[in-house]
Amino acid sequence: MTTTLPKPAPEETAPKRTRRRLSKSGRAGGQLHGGPIAYIVLGLFTFGSLGPLVWSAIAASRDTNRLAQTPPPFWFGSNLFKNLDKAWTDANLGKAFLNTTIVAGISSITIVILSTIAGFAFAKLRFRGRGALMLIVVGTMMVPPQLSIIPLYMMVAELEWTDQLQSVILPSLVSAFGVFFMRQYLIQALPDELIEAARVDGASSWRVLWHVVFPAARPAMAVLGMLTFVQSWNDFLWPFLVLTQTGNPTVQVALAGLGRGYTPDQSLIMAGAFLGTVPLLIVFALFGKQIVGGIMQGAVKG
Amino acid sequence: MASHDTAAPPSKGGAAPGRPAPGQPSEAEQRRRARLSRRWQRDIKWSPYAFVSPFFLLFLAFGLFPLVYTGWASLHQVELTAPTDMKWVGLRNYTRIFDDDFFWNAAKNTLTIGIISTVPQLLMALGIAHILNYRLRASTFYRVVILAPYATSIAAAALVFVLLFGHDYGMINWGLDLVGLGPVDWQNDKWSSQIAVSTIIIWRWTGYNALIYLAAMQAIPNDLYESAALDGASRWQQFIHVTLPSLRPTILFTVVVSTIGASQVFGEPLLFDPNTGASGGGEHQYQTLGLYLYEQGWVNQHLGRASAIAWTMFLILIVIGIVNYVISRRLRSSSGS
């Protein structure tokens, strides 16, 4: 009825749009239409990416006995909320969510601010040793975390900070990637003239930072914030070492504890895994486009 | 583009005088200007250091110092129960781990898991980036979807895949049974368990690498393809002769990053069998160096030996880095000639 009417219009405009793209586009490949094979392959990858996540939700909505049957369940059951509720209490997930939010929140905010300031200096200011210091920043990205956990652990043990959040937060306040990311962004997003203009007006470096750099960097700061939040939320090795699974866990530590029982309740474990992933999937559903853009932007100039 | 609607207002003590001074400025005014100018110079000279110093201070405390201290600890006997009680043993921790069969087993496993997780991952990423580079309906949707596993934590992913790889009721063995293949013992056989652990890594990282390739592909100038097409190159030939060479630095970058990641694999094998944990399977069949370090340090409580493992891993990484650098130099010079 109404759907038949507007249909011819897109078909008429489509070739025109393609031609315009062809002549204007400086991008490679982007002008070529994907054929059916492309959609089939993408469909397979979509299934591969989302399949395990969807299936964990299905398993979380079932009774454990149903999971120990062939064929495995393919559709949702009715136990979802019961399992979520049980996982929530059994794995201390309420505390874990609060802890992870605190840790990820503090470290992302600090990393974003410190990275913007340092990234600005590396992108736009001239000073002796800039090249060498930047090399150190990039070099630190290659140092594996395993190299620092032993002394850090000794430190935490010495200070009797085991099972306390500051032992997770403190080492996660810097990110070499963040400095690098902000530098790459500011090199192209912040015109030199703008800084010079502020300088001519007599602005001090801190004023330039506050009134010129931060506003210009805002989009990249948002992306970096989300990326670090995801990373910090998912961090496993270090929290696993210093936090206990029942006392004061982060979500990841609590999840690791879930699988450990002697008679593990599988649907309960899946409920926990699902719960631990949901906040990030929501972030992705809302800001996925920006996160994708951020990763791609960081990559090109890298 | 960001909007810059917040131009800096002239500061109160700016270089411009508040009132128009007729004739010569007074002596006091001159002094004031000189003082301002000195402060200005200091600001220009030192503020960059102030801006980068938080990063470096924190890095010194939580990056460099631990790095060096790990090296120091690796020359001592240190037990987890009394971490301050250090006894000098020279290189004995190193000889001890090199004599340990489990160390070589873990090194070999790290290598094989690294290869079977990295190679398919990057090849698939390249393929999917190529497809995403076409004009597609809902292309943003696909980009977000393939990145979704990246948002999933190691712990959650491992738990889900353990169930999928279950021997009797796992989804994957059920599928294999459906196509007429027998069930695979994903947890206990060496190769199948390493493939299963690698699958978790591949699942989490393929989309991320695909986006990095896609970004690099979109930066390739169209002229290259046009002239290749004029020379009669097919789509496939264009991919081989235009896309791949242009992506070489990006591919190298992802290889380096994935190699570093693969050398540290820890959570996936730790959680793959909750009952064996740190030993990486009943026969240590998928124990990686990361797990071996954890087992020595936190299960057997030998922090000194764990430090020696950490430093050995670091040295291996440096060697890999140098090899990568040499290969990339070679590639560059051969493509230049």
Chain A residue at shortest CA distance from B152: A277
Residue owning tokens 């699958």: B199
Answer yes or no: do B108 and B70 share one domain.
Answer: no
The shortest CB-CB distance from B51 to any of A121, A189, A215 is to A121
Instruction: Please state the domain count of chain A.
Output: 1
Domain that holds residue A203: 51-299
In a domain, B55, yes or no: yes
In a domain, A230, yes or no: yes
DSSP state of A70: S
pLDDT (0 to 100) of residue A122: 94
pLDDT per residue as tens digits for the range B279-333: 888 889 999 999 999 999 999 999 999 999 999 999 988 888 888 888 878 877 7
What ipTM describes this predicted complex? 0.83
pLDDT (0 to 100) of residue B322: 87
Answer yes or no: do B72 and B189 share one domain.
Answer: no
Contacts of B290 in chain A (CB under 8 A): 146, 237
In a domain, B22, yes or no: no
User: Touching check for B297 and chain A: CB below 8 Å?
Assistant: yes
In a domain, A13, yes or no: no
Q: What is the mean pLDDT of chain B?
A: 86
Contacts of B134 in chain A (CB under 8 A): 29-30, 32-34, 38
Answer yes or no: do B47 and B128 share one domain.
Answer: no
Q: How many CA atoms lie within 13 A of B203 on its CB side?
A: 26
Q: Using CB atoms and an 8 Å cut-off, which of residues 123-152 of chain A contact chain B?
A: 125-127, 130, 133, 136-137, 140, 142-152
Contacts of A289 in chain B (CB under 8 A): 140, 143-144
Q: Kindly tell me if the per-residue pLDDT of A106 is higher than 50.
A: yes
In a domain, B94, yes or no: no
Residue owning tokens 């190529």: B130
Q: Using CB atoms and an 8 Å cut-off, which of residues 39-98 of chain B contact chain A?
A: 43-45, 47-52, 54-56, 58-59, 62-63, 65-67, 69-70, 73, 78, 83-84
Lowest mean pLDDT among B70-74, B92-96, B332-336: B332-336
In a domain, A34, yes or no: no
User: Touching check for A48 and chain B: CB below 8 Å?
Assistant: yes
Distance CA B67, CA A151 (A): 8
Chain B residue at shortest CA distance from A231: B151
Answer yes or no: do B147 and B225 share one domain.
Answer: yes
Answer yes or no: do B78 and B126 share one domain.
Answer: no
User: Touching check for A270 and chain B: CB below 8 Å?
Assistant: yes
CATH number of the domain at A295, please. 1.10.3720.10
Distance CA A133, CA B239 (A): 38
CB within 8 Å: B135 and A149: no
In a domain, A209, yes or no: yes
DSSP letter string over B82-129?
A: EEEEEEE-TTHHHHHHHT-HHHHHHHHHHHHHHHHHHHHHHHHHHHHH
User: Touching check for A287 and chain B: CB below 8 Å?
Assistant: no
In a domain, A37, yes or no: no
Q: Which residues contact B244 (CB under 8 A, 6 or more apart)?
A: B251
pLDDT per residue as tens digits for the range A47-93: 999 999 998 899 888 887 777 777 777 788 778 888 888 888 888 88
- For the ranges B169-173, B215-219, B333-337, the one whose mean pLDDT is highest: B215-219
In a domain, B175, yes or no: yes
In a domain, A221, yes or no: yes
User: Touching check for B266 and chain A: CB below 8 Å?
Assistant: yes
pLDDT (0 to 100) of residue B329: 82
Q: Fill in the amino acid letter for A11.
A: E
pLDDT per residue as tens digits for the range B5-49: 444 444 444 444 444 455 566 888 888 888 878 887 888 888 889
Radius of gyration of chain A, Cα coordinates, nearest whole angstrom: 25
CATH number of the domain at B189, please. 1.10.3720.10
Instruction: Please state the domain count of chain B.
Output: 2
Cα dist. A20→A15, A17, A24, B18, B217 in Å?
Answer: 9, 5, 6, 56, 21
- For the ranges A60-64, A220-224, B60-64, B194-198, the one whose mean pLDDT is highest: B194-198
Mean of the pLDDT values across residues B62-66?
88
Alpha carbon of residue B213 to chain centroid: 15
Q: Is A28 exposed, middle or buried (0-12, 13-18, 19+ CB in 10 A)?
A: buried
CB within 8 Å: A28 and B222: yes
Domain that holds residue B67: 36-88
Distance CA B134, CA A38 (A): 8
In a domain, B162, yes or no: yes
In a domain, A224, yes or no: yes
In a domain, B25, yes or no: no
Q: Which residues contact A6 (CB under 8 A, 6 or more apart)?
A: none
Distance CA A61, CA A64 (A): 9
pLDDT per residue as tens digits for the range B118-144: 999 999 999 999 999 888 888 889 999
